Amino acid sequence: MRYTVILEPQEEGGYTVTVPALPGCISEGDTREESIENIKDAITLYIKDLRESGEEIPSDIPISEFTEVEIIA
């Protein structure tokens, strides 16, 4: 299974990682690599819980593009 994840750098350091297709599936880490490993564990547990409760496992929600815009106020 593959899921799109969003890594958000935090001001105090490290990253917060979320999975748009799995509401509430969130993790964090001090480095990008640690954050990705941690979210893999979180996804695995999330899916395990869904299976055990007989719920449907959501498909990924593809995110096609991110871009930044600058606003001059």
pLDDT of residue 35: 97
Position of tokens 């490290």? 14
Which CATH code for domain 1-73? 3.30.160.250
The first and second tokens of residue 30, run together, are 């001090």
pLDDT of residue 64: 72
pLDDT of residue 73: 83
Q: Which amino acid is at 37?
A: E
4, 61, 6, 24 alpha-carbon torsion, rounded to 10°: -110
The first and second tokens of residue 21, run together, are 């297709």
Q: How many CB atoms lie within 10 A of CB 5?
A: 22
pLDDT of residue 61: 86
pLDDT of residue 31: 97
CB 27 within 8 A of CB 17: yes
pLDDT, one tens digit for every residue, the chain (73 residues): 899 999 999 999 999 999 999 999 999 999 999 999 999 999 999 999 999 999 999 999 877 777 788 899 8
